[in-house]
Amino acid sequence: MSFRVGRRTVLASAASAAASAFLPLRVMAAEPPGTSRLEFGPANPFDFDQLAERARLLASEPYRTPRRPLPEIVAQIDYAVHGQIDFRRQNALYAERGAYPVTFFHLGNYFPTQVRMFAVSGGSAREILYSPDYFSIPEDSIARQLPADAGFAGFRLHESNSRPDWRTQDWVAFLGASYFRAIGELGQYGLSARGIAVDTAVPGPEEFPEFLEFYISPAESDEDPVVVHALLDGPRISGAYRFEIRRTEGVVMDIEKRLFLRGDIARLGIAPLTSMFWFAEYGRERLKDWRPDVHDSDGLAMDTGAGERIWRPLNNPAVTRASAFSDENPRGFGLLQRDRDSENYLDGVRYERRPSLWVEPLGDWGRGSIQCIEIPTDDEIHDNIGVFWVPEAPAVAGASFAYRYRLHWLADEPYPASGIARAVATRMGRGGEPGKPRPPGLRKFVVEFEGGPLTDLGPNVRPEAVVDSSHGEVSYVFTEPVPGTKRWRAQFDVAPARDEVVELRLYLSGGGHALSETWLYQLDPTSA
């Protein structure tokens, strides 16, 4: 499946998108203030409504493949070669005028499509005319064989130019298909977001529409947002996007998008998130790795329209699995990295600092489902987790959709549930009681909860574990405090009735009401 893609580089599409593939004539025009080293095309009026109309018209026309210069050369610009090509910081856009300078990415084998860049000021946009001279390229690099009009692949935002280290520190990157990433409040890149997901984990190939044009407006101060508009196109969908990007303790993005379908789509993923999960404190026993945990995210968190808080630990399944959680007007969902203990990773790539990413819907999203795609992986270099919203309305040719939402790139979810505990660890083992024979096929679960009312429970108060399973028998259910902590653990055994996935549900109860969020898990008896 093409959704499974390299994680340490941001990937381009397996199938891509088109808009205007022509290049403008290189003309010298008056440059926006503070960008004396870049060449620009003429100014043209620009706004979001105009971009959305272009996207609508694109969807009414046959799809056109975008320009990909000399594919046989670009295919040889692999991770190592690309890493030696650097945009010269003296050419950065808005390095003097704006608060957050912009630099650009060179084409590479994972991002071969030419992407047009525009600087926006006062309701006008000027194209930034590409030149290989903007880049530092080794003399022996294969990249020197590309034509002089090859074009950019993407861009990134650097830290405030009031910082002496801004040239080496970036905080947002758009690169490859419709992928983009941001650092969280712990200063580390990790999982990615996408502009759209098209037919992930359905029969047939997944489609990867592409951002083909970016329009970048500067932030006048550190407190102001960088505003980015983008034109997206793919074989069955086009769209116009507006990003309002703020540097906070992490990164917050307000996104508005208008989508137009030229073909039917079986699974249209809105606000898609992409991450990597190999194994956590569970699952390691069959993978033979030396580290306790390896993942960019360890669970899917949901705040439903009805107000239920749900935690669903991620899996590395034996076969691709799609889970759907029906909802109406969800309050939020996201892929989180809850485990922040470096002793649980023991790895120099700093998994404990990877950001959590929370989607906050803005406005009425109606009925649909939060869907989680989990794809088998045998290494940490693959993104194998996808999460997105799928609207109930059919995604058919001629349909249009409009969505607004906010992305929070933080250490944790932005609106923690008050008054309830949350699940902080999931452990698995052989079922049965100590000192007695362990029946084959019996699995034991130990789930740890922390916070909320558990912090102040009296000495004679014991929460109750409420457990349900979709099939099989649940037994040996009890709770106990975790020694040396303020955590409580819920323990139970489950004996599946058949070789089908068991859907498990657990929460802590006391005094007739829930004391914790709801923990969900998928147990595959054939691979556990």
Task: List, for residues 452-494, the tens digit of each pLDDT value.
Answer: 999 988 778 899 999 999 999 999 999 999 999 999 999 999 9
Residue 224: closest CA among 81, 406, 100, 57: 100
**DSSP string covering 241-271, please?**
EEEEEEESSSEEEEEEEEEEESS--SSEEEE
CA–CA distance from 407 to each of 194, 271, 384 (Å)? Answer: 11, 9, 21
Per DSSP, 452 falls in state: G
Q: Does the pLDDT of residue 30 top 50, yes or no?
A: no
- Would you state the pLDDT for residue 289? 87
Q: Within a 13 Å sphere around the CA of 150, how many CA atoms are in the beta-carbon half?
A: 25
Mean pLDDT of the chain: 91
pTM of this structure: 0.92
Q: Does the pLDDT of residue 328 top 50, yes or no?
A: yes
Does 422-523 match 5-410 at the fold level?
Answer: no
Q: Does the pLDDT of residue 65 top 50, yes or no?
A: yes
Helix then strand count (H, E) for the chain reads: 3, 36
d(CA 33, CA 95): 10
CATH fold, domain 5-410, is Beta-galactosidase; Chain A, domain 5 (2.70.98)
Q: Which of 233-247, 388-402, 444-458 has the lowest mean pLDDT?
A: 444-458
Q: What is the pLDDT of residues 346-395, one digit of tens each?
A: 999 999 999 999 999 999 999 999 999 999 999 999 999 999 999 999 99
d(CA 520, CA 313): 7
Residue 37's pLDDT band, with cuts at 50, 70 and 90, is: confident
Q: Could you tell me the residue ranges of all domains in the chain?
A: 5-410, 422-523
Q: Does the pLDDT of residue 31 top 60, yes or no?
A: no
Q: Does the pLDDT of residue 11 top 70, yes or no?
A: no
Q: What is the pLDDT of residues 301-315, one digit of tens each?
A: 999 999 999 999 999
Class of domain 422-523: mainly beta
| Average pLDDT of the segment spanning 411-415 | 96
| Average pLDDT of the segment spanning 17-28 | 31
Please say whether the beta carbons of 519 and 446 come within 8 A.
no
Q: Does the pLDDT of residue 436 top 90, yes or no?
A: no
